[in-house]
Amino acid sequence: MQEDMEYNIRFVGSYILDKTLGVGATGKVKLAKHSRTKEKVGVKIIKKDLFYDKPSLRLKIQREISVMKLMFHPHVIKIYDVLEDSKYLFLIIEYASKGELFNYLVEKRKLENREALKFFHEIISGLEYCHKHRICHRDLKLENILLDMKLQIKIADFGMASLSIPNIMLKTFCGSPHYASPEVVSNEPYNGIKADIWSCGIILYALVVGKLPYDEENDNMRKLFNKIRFEPPRIPRIIHPDCRDLIRALLTINPQKRITIDKIKKHPWYKSSPLPESCRISIQNLSFASVQNPISNPDPEIISFLLPLQLVKDKKTLCGILSTKKPSFLRVLYRQLEWRKMKMDSVRSNLINEANFKRKKLFKQGKLGNITGLKYWKNLKCKFLSINIKSFVRTGIYIYF
C-alpha cells in the first residue's frame, strides 16, 4: 500500500485496506478487512474530481448506489456502506473472492450440464429478485457476474440499471453489444425485463458451449447487429435437448414471444436438478396496496437515496407524495429502502457481537498472540493517524456533492 502514493489511504472508516483488486475508468477497487469483525469487503475508491469534469458520471454513480440500496438477496452483490472524505467517495461492497464468471469459464472452457444448471439457477434467482423489485440490470454479461468463495453467483455492476415503471418503455441503448437483445440493437423502445432475459440466454449458451452465440470478426458491429436481429442461434447438437430448447426460448427474437422467468422455472431442463437452498427463498412482488400509510417524517438518509432515481424533480415534491394516502410507487421504494436499512443494521450488529464474543473467548484462553496483534494494529493506527486517517460520514451522496 505504501507504493500507492496517489491514493495514500490505509484506512477507510473501520476498514483496513489491502491489495488492489482492479482498476477501472473511475478509480480502484481494493480488498479490505473490517478491524473488528475481520469481514473482507471490496472498497471502490472514486475520485471526486471526476465529477466536476463529468457531471453525468456523478449521476450514474448516484443511481447505481440507490439501486443497490434497494436490494438484499444471496445472489445479488450487496453494498454495505457509502463513505466519503474531501477527495474520495468509498463504496463498501460485498467481496466475491473467486472473481468473474468469465475468467472461471475461460479456465474451464465450457461447463458440464449440472454445473451450468447450478449457476443458471442462481442467476435466475437473483434476476427474479431484481425484476420483482422493479429493477432491470441492462448489462448482464459473464464479466458482471461474480463468484464468492463457495462459487456462488453474485450479480454485480448496476451502473446501467434502470427502474421498470409500469407501462413505460426504455429507450437508452446500453450494455454490451454481444449480450444486447434484438430490440435494443434495433434502437427501438424496449422492455428492460425482456432484454435481461435475452442476456441470460447469451450467458447460458456461453456456459454450455464455451463461446458466445453471436460474434463477428474484426468487430464489425453492423454485421453483428444484423445477426442478432434476424438469425436464430445455432446450438451444437451435443448440448442436452432440453437445454437447447430453453436457449431457443431465451433467445427468441420477438420480445413478446420470449420466455418469462415464471416459465423458465417450469422448464424441464431448469427442473432437472434440485434448486440450491439459496434459490428457494420466496420473492414477493412489491405491492402498492401494502404501503398505503402516509410517511410524514421520512428518514433523511432514505430520501437522499430516492432522489437520484429522478422519479421526481426535487425533495419537496418527493416528501409531498410520501405524505399522502394515494398509492405511490415512490412509497413502495421508500419502504423497501427502510426494510433493507433495518436488515443491514441487523447483519452488522450480529457480525460485531460475534467478533466481540470470539475476542473475549480468546482472551480468556490466554492466547497472547491475539493480544499482541491487537496492540500492533492500535499502535499502527496511532502512528499514521495524522496523515492517513480521514474524516468520514455515512452519506446520502446527493446531499454532500
Domain boundaries, the chain: 11-95+330-400, 99-279
Residue closest to 246 by CA, chosen among 113, 132, 115, 134: 113
How would you classify the pairing of strands 27-34 and 15-23? antiparallel
Mean pLDDT of 31-42: 91
Q: Is the pLDDT of residue 148 over 80?
A: yes
- As a whole number, mean pLDDT of residues 102-111 equals 96
Name the strand (E) or helix (H) holding 394: strand 393-394
- In angstroms, the CA 348 to CA 304 distance is 21
Checking phi first, is residue 13 left (phi over 0); if not, alpha (psi -120 to 50) or beta?
left
Average pLDDT, the chain: 83
Model pLDDT, residue 138: 95
pLDDT per residue as tens digits for the range 271-310: 999 999 999 887 665 555 555 678 888 888 888 888 888 7
Given a cut of 90, whether residue 8 has pLDDT beyond it is no
Task: Using the structure block, give the residue that is written with the C-alpha cell 427463498.
Answer: 281
**Known catalytic residues?**
139
CATH number attached to the domain at 99-279: 1.10.510.10
Q: Is the pLDDT of residue 351 over 80?
A: no
Q: What is the pLDDT of residue 4?
A: 47
Is residue 63's pLDDT more than 80? yes
Mean pLDDT along residues 127-145: 93
User: Does the annotation list 48 as a binding residue?
Assistant: yes
349 half-sphere exposure, CB direction, 13 A CA radius: 6
Which residue in 56, 149, 131, 140 sits closest to 95, CA to CA? 149
CB within 8 A of 159, min separation 6: which ones? 60, 61, 64, 139
The model's pTM is 0.78
366: confidence class by pLDDT, cuts 50, 70, 90: low
- Which segment of 14-18, 139-143, 386-390 scores lowest on mean pLDDT? 386-390
pLDDT for 338:
81
Domain 11-95+330-400 grouped into CATH 2.40.50.140: no
Weakest-pLDDT range from 17-21, 230-234, 315-319 = 315-319
**216 — pLDDT class (breaks 50, 70, 90):** confident
What's residue 199's pLDDT? 98
Q: What's the mean pLDDT in 80-92?
A: 90
